[in-house]
């Protein structure tokens, strides 16, 4: 059998387990997917000034994103043309040039080699056009994307139709509030899968069902990317999951609203939690529901921050677009805030992944800009995650261990509620086997 018959996502949606566990499959992804796909290297706000440099690592590859003297973003391979050393590790600020720490060769901010120490010693042995290997770079919504493939399609084409879908959310105007990095105990795709469906909520996060209707989600696949979210109108009333079979007098709107705000934690702004407390204390104005009152307050808050939310319907103000930006960025985007997970393979190890959690929000222009909290979590298991995240990460350890045990060759997916999961695997297959 050819490898692609063993590894390909099946037409009926079954996924071969080896995709998550085999070192050879991970290698194939590096060779055929990561080397050719547009991927998020960071946020533009991480390199605000000329000479700012950000290192982006994918597998064994390291890329430097550089803002040059004229403010234009450049990207290049982070390996010196002399004897291969990395030039920048992590980041640099306000550099006049890129200087290799080993023997001091210098490169301009666009990657051209400008100075070789004791050049005369080399005579004419050096090629005249040495430069750091070029990498494509472009931006959308404040995200810096890179692509290692010189023949890559334009980013705008790759991102369609997300650009239109997300335009009203003004991601470019959002600012990082938190960037937290942790190595998680599962294959990168297992991590993405867990944020790409709502099917597991009723089991893994059953404590949130009293304030979450987990049944009113719609899934939609685009050519490359996907999204899921509330069905139109689903957040027009506050109700628990129908799975609980509660009658109207068995739940309290106020508790549901409180649960929603507390449970979505970082997705809401400090000011909004204050609004909820106040609403709960006074009750909604006569004739409108608690949710409608909250949505009206939310609209005022966003407008006061200088953002136009007139295109959003009331229920959209409290509903998320859960977008999979193929291949590895996923998470809920609300008007005004977003929690995004960027998940990368951890070197060549198929059993762990590097996860960056980015909390973004529209800043309040009337207040002084705050720098984001930047955290590196040394040991995911010892960290104080919020309860839902703890459940998700404990779950990932179990999933990877169960898959590694060799008990099952095939994983079966729910055709409706896990359709975005299967779609992501099919698009990966396009890169691995078809193009």
Binding site for Fe ion (CB under 5 A): 392
Q: Which residue number, 214 or 392, has a Cβ lying nearer to Fe ion?
A: 392
Stretch that binds ligand FES, among 101-109, 190-198, 223-231, 401-409 (CB under 6 A): 101-109
DSSP 56: E
Q: Which residue number, 166 or 201, has a Cβ lying nearer to Fe ion?
A: 201
Evaluate whether 65 touches 56 at the Cβ level (below 8 Å): yes
The binder of 85, among Fe ion, ligand FES, none, by C-beta within 5 to 8 A per type, is: ligand FES
CA distance 428 to 7: 11
DSSP 122: G
Rg (CA), the chain: 24
The binder of 392, among ligand FES, Fe ion, none, by C-beta within 5 to 8 A per type, is: Fe ion
Evaluate whether 375 touches 177 at the Cβ level (below 8 Å): no
Asked if 80 is part of the footprint of ligand FES (rule: CB under 6 A), the reply reads yes
Q: Which residue number, 113 or 290, has a Cβ lying nearer to ligand FES?
A: 113
Stretch that binds ligand FES, among 45-53, 58-66, 103-111, 168-176 (CB under 6 A): 103-111
Asked if 82 is part of the footprint of ligand FES (rule: CB under 6 A), the reply reads yes
Q: Which residues does 223 contact at the CB level (< 8 Å), separation at least 6?
A: none
The binder of 103, among Fe ion, ligand FES, none, by C-beta within 5 to 8 A per type, is: ligand FES
Q: Which residue number, 83 or 430, has a Cβ lying nearer to ligand FES?
A: 83
CA distance 77 to 3: 31
The binder of 80, among Fe ion, ligand FES, none, by C-beta within 5 to 8 A per type, is: ligand FES
CA distance 419 to 373: 35
Q: How near is the Cβ of 102 to ligand FES at its closest, in Å?
A: 4
Which structure tokens are listed for 240?
């628990």
Q: Characterize the bridge pairing of strands 329-334 and 136-140.
A: unpaired
Q: Which residues does 27 contact at the CB level (< 8 Å), separation at least 6?
A: 348
Q: How near is the Cβ of 332 to Fe ion at its closest, in Å?
A: 11
Q: Which residue number, 88 or 293, has a Cβ lying nearer to ligand FES?
A: 88
Q: Which residues does 160 contact at the CB level (< 8 Å), separation at least 6?
A: none
Q: How far from chain centre, in Å, is Cα 42? A: 10
**Which residue from 4, 5, 60, 85 is in contact with ligand FES, where contact means CB under 6 A?**
85
Q: How near is the Cβ of 85 to ligand FES at its closest, in Å?
A: 4
Q: Which residue number, 179 or 396, has a Cβ lying nearer to Fe ion?
A: 396
Asked if 100 is part of the footprint of ligand FES (rule: CB under 6 A), the reply reads yes
Stretch that binds ligand FES, among 10-18, 95-103, 238-246, 415-423 (CB under 6 A): 95-103
Asked if 105 is part of the footprint of ligand FES (rule: CB under 6 A), the reply reads yes
Evaluate whether 323 touches 225 at the Cβ level (below 8 Å): yes
Q: How near is the Cβ of 364 to Fe ion at its closest, in Å?
A: 30
Element (H, E) at 43: strand 39-43
CA distance 376 to 397: 19
Binding site for ligand FES (CB under 6 A): 80, 82-83, 85, 100, 102-105
């Amino acid at each position: 059998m050819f490898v692609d018959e063993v590894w390909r996502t099946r037409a009926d949606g079954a996924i071969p387990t080896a995709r998550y566990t085999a070192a050879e499959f991970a290698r194939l992804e590096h060779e055929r997917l990561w080397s050719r796909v547009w991927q998020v290297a960071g946020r533009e706000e991480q390199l605000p000034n000329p000479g700012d440099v950000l290192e982006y690592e994918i597998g064994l590859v390291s890329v430097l994103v550089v803002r040059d003297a004229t403010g234009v973003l450049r990207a290049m391979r982070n390996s010196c043309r002399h004897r291969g050393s990395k030039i920048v590790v992590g980041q640099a600020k306000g550099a006049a040039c890129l200087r290799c720490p080993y023997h001091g060769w210098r490169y301009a901010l666009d990657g051209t080699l400008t100075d070789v120490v004791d050049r005369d010693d080399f005579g004419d042995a050096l090629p005249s056009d040495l430069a750091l290997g070029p990498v494509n770079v472009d931006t959308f919504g404040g995200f810096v994307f890179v692509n290692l493939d010189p023949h890559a399609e334009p980013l705008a084409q790759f991102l369609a139709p997300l650009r239109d879908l997300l335009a009203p959310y003004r991601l470019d105007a959002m600012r990082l509030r938190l960037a937290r990095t942790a190595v998680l105990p599962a294959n990168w795709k297992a991590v993405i899968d867990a944020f790409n469906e709502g099917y597991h909520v009723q089991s893994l996060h059953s404590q949130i069902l009293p304030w979450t209707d987990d049944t009113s989600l719609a899934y939609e696949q685009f050519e490359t990317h996907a999204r899921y979210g509330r069905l139109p109108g689903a957040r027009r009333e506050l109700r628990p999951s129908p799975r609980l079979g509660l009658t109207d007098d068995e739940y309290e709107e106020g508790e549901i609203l409180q649960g929603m705000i507390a449970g979505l934690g970082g997705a809401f702004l400090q000011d909004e939690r204050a609004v909820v407390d106040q609403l709960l204390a006074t009750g909604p104005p006569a004739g409108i529901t608690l949710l409608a009152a909250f949505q009206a307050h939310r609209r005022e808050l966003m407008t006061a921050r200088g953002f136009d939310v007139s295109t959003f319907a009331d229920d959209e103000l409290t509903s998320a677009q859960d977008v999979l930006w193929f291949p590895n960025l996923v998470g809920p985007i609300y008007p005004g805030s977003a929690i995004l997970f960027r998940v990368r393979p951890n070197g060549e190890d198929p059993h762990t992944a590097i996860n960056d959690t980015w909390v973004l929000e529209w800043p309040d222009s009337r207040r002084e800009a705050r720098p984001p909290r930047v955290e590196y979590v040394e040991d995911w298991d010892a960290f104080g995650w919020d309860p839902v995240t703890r459940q998700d990460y404990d779950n990932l350890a179990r999933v990877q261990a169960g898959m590694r045990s060799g008990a099952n060759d095939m994983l079966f997916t729910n055709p409706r509620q896990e359709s975005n999961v299967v779609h992501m695997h099919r698009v990966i297959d396009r890169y691995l086997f078809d193009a």
